[in-house]
Amino acid sequence: MSVFIDLPYELSAAPAGFKPGQSSASTLSAPSTHTLQPVGPAFLAHKRRQLNNLSFAEDDKIIGDKLAAEAAAAAANGDDDAGVGDEEESAELLARDPKEWKTQDHYAVLGLSALRWKATQEQIKIAHRKKVLKHHPDKKAGSSGLTSDDSFFKCIAKAHEILSNPEKRRQFDSVDESIDDEAVPTGKEPADKFYKLWGPIFERESRFSEPKNGPVPQLGDANSTRDQVNEFYDFWYNFDSWRSFEYLDKEINEGSDNRDDKRYTEKKNRNERARRKKEDNARLRNLVDKALSVDPRIKQFKADDKAAREAKKNKGRPGVNGAAGAVDPRKAAEEKKKAEEEAKRKAEEEAKAAKQEKATKADAKKAKEAAKKAIKKEKKALNKLITDNNYFQAAAPTPQIIEAQLNELDALCEKLEATKLADYRKKAEAASGADAVKAQFVNAAKDAGIATSAFA
């Protein structure tokens, strides 16, 4: 249908040499008839709802229940789940806040606590699918009537995001708090328990080995050759670890426009990562030193070397290997029995001492953790006092002043105990005015024996 539009102005006349161009109009092809058939899962779902007179919510609930039933049937029939199994979910785990995802145990959320760093990507995929089927919000909405009960589902999604990404998983595995790096033998255990106690320790540490270095040598047993033992310790004394500590970085406030604050936080994170890496290298070195010092094979090799030197030294001397040097068998048996009884008594005493030392260590560790937590709390309160008083500056503080005062606060918290920090914090909170508050920080610095220039 043609439409005519009147324009509110007149067109000028065409130029004298104007020639109309070739027309771009064309004719349409003749119409034809085609039959369209509705297909696909969306159409099938539509017809299912239409035939059964169901709403979207009712249909989703039925499908969710069906999937859950299939999953339960598969579990009952013993279908292969790659060894994932079903872990019990504690009330504390189910009540986790997804906003606190950095402190959650991602393996526990997916039901992989028993496997942890040994879990394969296939097992992670299977565990995630099982958790999604069990905790999907639509299913919970149908059973409990709650439409926003998706907190734990978000925790599941975050755990899968971390563990399915190789780089992020490495960062989490590096600081996995469920694995105690300090849990090592004391070195006073009986020699016959060496392989049973130290084998799992080196297996635990081997998870940080760079794949490019090939397979990690095993601890072996009493029948290992000298070359195998030397190869084992050479590997661990030159261990190439991929362990890193980015996961513990303090979050950078992306909403802040202050570049100096961002640079300061990044610098602090780099320094903290380097410090933790250095401490971890020293920890591993001490671990290998301790294992080497109590390895019965090393002691045997040294005894063999000493015997060989003595034999070489005494070679040709009369009576050394002859009848004159023979030992009374009965006396030798008595000495052997006496030595065995002495060794048994000593082993029992060492085991008792080791048990006592372990208990003492556990108590000391608890006390240390409690003190660390208290210091962290006081540090946070002291930091708030500094920021609330504008870093004791009349104008906006410079990045240099901020860094100097925060560094001095770190030094204070390292030097003073939690009780003393609490005393100075209470005095500062009770003080009136920024100068009075600053005076308490100066007093604390003097008490700790550190410079007071940052608060001067």
Give burial (CB, 10 Å; 0-12/13-18/19+) of 99. Answer: exposed
Q: What is the pLDDT of residue 366?
A: 82
Angle formed at CA 293 by CA 287 and CA 299, multiple of 5 degrees: 150
Kindly state the helix (H) or strand (E) to which residue 307 belongs, with its residue range.
Answer: helix 296-314
What CA–CA distance (Å, rounded) separates 288 from 155? 38
41: number of CA atoms within 13 Å, CB side?
0
Query: Ranked by mean pLDDT, which of 21-30, 331-340, 408-417, 444-453 comes out on top?
Result: 408-417
Mean local confidence (pLDDT), 242-265: 81
Mean local confidence (pLDDT), 38-46: 87
What CA–CA distance (Å, rounded) separates 407 from 386? 12
Q: What is the pLDDT of residue 307?
A: 87
User: Residue 264: CB partners within 8 Å, gap ≥ 6?
Assistant: 399, 402, 403, 406
CB-based contact 214:202 (threshold 8 Å): no
Q: What is the pLDDT of residue 318?
A: 57
In percent, the amount of the chain with pLDDT more than 70 equals 89
**CA–CA distance from 94 to each of 132, 146, 241, 337 (Å)?**
13, 15, 35, 60
Q: What is the pLDDT of residue 322?
A: 44
CB-based contact 287:239 (threshold 8 Å): no
Q: What is the pLDDT of residue 15?
A: 81
pLDDT tens-digit series, residues 393-413: 888 888 888 888 888 888 888
Q: What is the pLDDT of residue 167?
A: 94
Tracing tokens 């255990």 back to the chain, one arrives at 189
Q: Which CATH number fits domain 48-174: 3.30.160.270, 2.60.120.620, 2.40.10.220, 1.10.287.110?
A: 1.10.287.110
Q: What is the pLDDT of residue 357?
A: 79
Query: Ranked by mean pLDDT, which of 16-30, 263-277, 383-397 comes out on top?
Result: 263-277
pLDDT band at 449; cut points 50, 70, 90: confident
**CA–CA distance from 66 to each of 24, 61, 145, 448 (Å)?**
60, 9, 18, 67
pLDDT tens-digit series, residues 66-100: 888 777 766 654 445 677 888 888 889 999 999 99
Break the chain into its structural domains and give their ranges. 48-174, 180-312, 368-455
Beta bridge partners of 209: 241
Kindly state the helix (H) or strand (E) to which residue 311 belongs, with its residue range.
Answer: helix 296-314
Q: What is the pLDDT of residue 112?
A: 93
pLDDT at 323 over 50: no
Which is more confidently placed, 164 or 401? Answer: 164
Mean pLDDT of the chain: 84
* Class of 368-455 in CATH: mainly alpha
CB-based contact 261:406 (threshold 8 Å): no
What CA–CA distance (Å, rounded) separates 355 from 189? 10
Q: What is the pLDDT of residue 201?
A: 94
